[in-house]
Structure 1
Amino acid sequence: MGARTMTWEQASARRLARSGLAPPAPAEGAAGAGSGRRTGSAVERDAAGGSAGVRELPDGTPAAVLRALCGAQAQVLSAAELSVGMRIAGATRADVRRALWDDRTVVKTFGPRGTVHLLPAADLPLWTGALGALPAGSGNGGGTLGLLTPDQADAVVAAAADALADAELTVDELTDAIAERAGSWAADPVMEAFQSTWPRWRAATALASHRGALCFGPNRGRKVTYTSPQRWLPGFAPAPPDAALGALVRRYLHAYGPATPQDFARWLAAPAGWARDLFAAQAKADAIEPVELAGVPSWVVAGDTAVPAAPAEQARGVRLLPYFDAYAIACRPRELLFPGQAYERALAGGQAGNFPVLLVDGEAAGVWHQRRSGRRIAVTVEPLDRLPTARRRALEGEVERLGEIMEGRAELTVGPVTVGPHA
């Protein structure tokens, strides 16, 4: 018997629901939610952690949303706050900040592609176990940009772990601490960055994070700080690499499958051949199974082949995705998620995340931009096609919700977005 088939419409409806872009999850403790609700099916439990031993999380919390998304990219922290907040009914950015800096159920660190992410603190062993096992040269995390030898990289990681064991240090303070422990070469200003030069050790920042040596601490004024993940998760240690990588494959496929090994490799910025071998090992262990998505041989978690009964109805809706939203970055094929003119307008050279995206019925249908002044948030939305009256009303509701999440007063203008990517 051949692999099961799945249409783009069916896959899109599944992904929207699992990425929290169907009706938002109730906040923890809200009517019908219950602080004790947990993921239910065996497929969901396996995708959440499987043999990596990740504990379950209450629904309707920032940590649970981040687990479902496989993290939220956060070099623009306000965008990550919006990504998470829009997926929890009644939540605001304050709830995300509280989870991060007060409750410490969320951690800010370096995730897939070596980029800054918000991740559930409970999942940090899984993430570091998996990302720390990436091949050399994978994204920013598996390599050191040619500025450090392997021995020097190891010395930087060890020095950072020691210096941050019970401290929150600014970049300058950590530079001094690493140079004192590893050698003055670590502080050499040789790394080109933002029309400046950074000390050599910073080429291994993401690598140190992936090995569990550092994560972000609270800002000190306008200065970034780093600290030890032990302070977020006492007893923390990276999970065994094989178990962690297998769990990460299954979690990714649960959220964004059906997907190919190449899709997974692009999401991680890892070699395609390495990803094919990893998928082959998971298939041999009967942890994943093949399906065909829109004519492309792909994979899902074993037993996870159910499709929505009415996918077109379940995918209906208007959403505003901020910069680097996980749905826009992880879902493929790109040409189906960004159909027609959207491929040119809403992507930057084929790269997702650089423009905030207007999502209509699960597909990119325009771009948008926000500009804040005090509590006023001016939101400009540029649809690629005319919005019918019902869609316009839905967009107005989405903009109002954006204002609530960001603790401001949002005002909508429908018209051209004149700024470029990252504006």
Structure 2
Amino acid sequence: MTWAAVSARRLARHRLDAPATVGGDPVTRRIADVVAGTCGAHAQVMSAAEVSVAMRVAGAVRGDVRNALWRDRTLVRAHGPRGTVHLMASRELPAWVGALGGLDADRGVAVGEPYLDPDQVAALAEACPGVLAYRDLTATELTQALADTVGGWAAEPVVDAFRDHLPRWRWAQPTLGHRGALCFGPNRGREVTFTSPARLLPGFVPMDGPPALRRLALRYLHGYGPATPAEFARWLGAPRDRCEEVFRELGDSVERVTVAGAGPAFQIAGDPTHHELPRGVRLLPYFDVFGVGCHPRSLLFAGGAARRALARGQAGNYPLLLVDGQVAGVWHQALRGRRLRVTVEPLVRLSEAESDELAFQVQRLAGIQGAEEAEVETGRVTVGPHA
């Protein structure tokens, strides 16, 4: 397969070639379909997550993503791959919890180190659904509730974090999410809240671990393939040998292909090749999953893009300018009231048509965020990478 064919298919699967149309479906359902197709959306920075998702659905705005989360509940905010916070399609959460919880179980005694032992992690996982069964709790409220339930050790401020110390249970927060013991509720003012997936999604039952992990591997290959077991392991934050085993277990469901300039990889068996060239100018916000999840980086971030758009080899810390499926620059926005100003630093010379499309994308970015005025300028982006 040529790299162009790989890029064209990934752009289509990520709805970056053309946004998904709503048709007769509620927009929040279409949003969930798009998020399922990308295997989630990074949500450490919720404002960026809202843009990332909304840009993939025709006519969608940030409020539609919030409605999908808190009104219609077609999305859920939970701990996903690598323990990072993601938006996920609610219907996919049983598979996510089954796969990630199973991987945590495989880690055994190492799960809680150095702040918790396995028995303490198990006690927290058992306690969380009960204390979160009837209402959302802030971190402070949940800390007290867990201390009352499992013992004062849960609230001991021992976890180093940003020149402060968090309570002991917070070290296990991603693990508790992976086990389906908690997820995020709506913010209470500026404070994050936690809730139980079983309360948020009635009938929630995690899948068994091995089939859930195989399902997740196929979903990943649908959105990011062709890919290698090592790339899947890096994306998921899982042991490479376990991911190699998963790919073997997939059997005839996958097939080996060779990507020009990258080498052998796997795709879903019979997945059609896109023969058209990748086209389009797109502005991807912080931590957009296309930049974070697509490999190999040497081809996606070719030439000067690796030096300018990666932070110590890590993707996501800069918003990306994408031209014809390639990282071709970085950008930054300043949103003040109803006015949006976007500075774009291209690494390639944009044609007149590409400049016009860039201007259109800036207007779309403004509409998603509720801005009434928008302007774009090209020049050096002086803002450093996001932490």
Q: TM-score range by the shorter chain?
A: over 0.9
Aligned residues: 383
What is the match of residue 410 of structure 1? 374
How far apart, CA to CA, are the structure 2 residues paired with 1:168 and 1:299?
A: 42
Tell me, what secondary structure is at the counterpart of 1:394? helix
Counterpart of 1:114 in structure 2 is 83
2:345 counterpart residue number: 382
Counterpart Cα distance in 2 of 1:381 and 1:250:
35
Counterpart pick for 2:323 among 352, 355, 360? 360
The whole-number CA distance in structure 2 between the counterparts of 1:119 and 1:144 is: 25
**Secondary structure in 2 matching 1:328:** helix
Contact 2:28-2:72 within 8 A present in 1 as well: no
Give the TM-score of the pair, scaled to structure 1: 0.88
Matched AA of 2:377: T
Residue type at the aligned position of 1:164: L
What secondary structure sits across from 2:102 in the alignment? coil
Superposition deviation, residue 60 in structure 1? 6.6
| Maintained 8 Å contact 2:29/2:74 | no
Residue of structure 2 aligned with 1:370, choices 309, 313, 333: 333
Which amino acid counterpart does residue 369 of structure 1 have in structure 2?
H
Q: 2:25 is matched with which residue?
A: 35
CA RMSD of aligned residues (A): 1.6
Contact residue 26 and residue 60 of structure 1 kept, 8 A: no
Q: Provide the C-alpha distance between the structure 1 equivalents of 2:297 and 2:168, rounded to a whole number of angstroms.
A: 36
2:353 corresponds to which letter in structure 1? A
Please point out which of 283, 301, 317 is paired with 2:268.
301
SS in 2 for 1:134: helix
Amino acid at match of 1:275: C
Q: Deviations over 1:224-251 (max 9, x none)?
A: 1000111221010111111111110000
Q: How far apart are residue 290 of structure 1 and its match? A: 1.2
Q: Which residue of structure 2 aligns with residue 92 of structure 1?
A: 61
Cα distance 1:370–1:187, how it changes in 2: closer, same or farther (>3 A)?
same
Residue 218 of structure 2 aligns with which residue?
Answer: 250
In the alignment, structure 1 segments of 5+ residues that lack a partner are 1-5, 28-32, 37-57
- Determine if the alignment matches structure 1 residue 19 to structure 2 residue 9: no
* Matched-pair contact (CA < 8 Å) for 2:319–2:332: yes
Which residue of structure 2 aligns with residue 3 of structure 1? none
SS in 2 for 1:96: helix
Q: What does the per-residue CA deviation read over 1:274-321, in whole Å, with 9 as the maximum and x for residues that have no partner?
A: 1111111112xx2212111125111111222x21232x1xx1110000
2:174 is the alignment partner of 1:206:
yes
Distance in 1 of aligned mates of 2:146 and 2:62: 34
Q: One-letter code of the match for 1:118?
A: L
State the partner residue of 2:290. Answer: 327
CA distance in 1 between partners of 2:113 and 2:119 (Å): 14
Which deviates more from structure 2 when the two are superposed, residues 128-137 or residues 288-297? 128-137
- Structure 2 counterpart of 1:20, which letter? R
Q: Sort the Cα spacing of 1:181 and 1:147 in 2 relative to 1 into closer, same or farther, 3 A.
A: same
SS in 2 for 1:61: helix
Judging changes above 3 Å, is the alpha-carbon distance between structure 1 residues 179 and 161 closer, same or farther for their aligned structure 2 residues? same
Question: CA 1:99 to 1:170, structure 2 compared with 1: closer, same or farther past 3 Å?
Answer: same
Q: Which has the higher helix share?
A: 2
User: Corresponding residue for 2:205?
Assistant: 237
Q: CA–CA distance in 1 between the matches of 2:112 and 2:376?
A: 44
Flag as ranges the 4+ runs of structure 1 deviating above 6 A: none
- Amino acid of the structure 2 residue aligned with 1:10: A
SS at match of 1:25: coil
Once residues 124 and 272 of structure 1 are traced to their aligned partners in structure 2, the CA distance between those partners, rounded to angstroms, is 23
Instruction: Answer whether contact 2:28 2:64 (CA < 8 A) is retained.
Output: no
Q: Percent of counterpart pairs with the same letter?
A: 54
Counterpart secondary structure, 1:245: helix
> Equivalences for 1:327-346 in 2 at 5 Å?
327-346=290-309
The structural deviation recorded for 1:137 is: 8.9
**What TM-score, normalized by structure 2, do the two folds share?**
0.96
SS at match of 1:132: helix
State whether structure 2 residue 260 is matched by structure 1 residue 265: no
Alignment of 1:124-143 (within 5 A): 124-135=93-104, 143=111
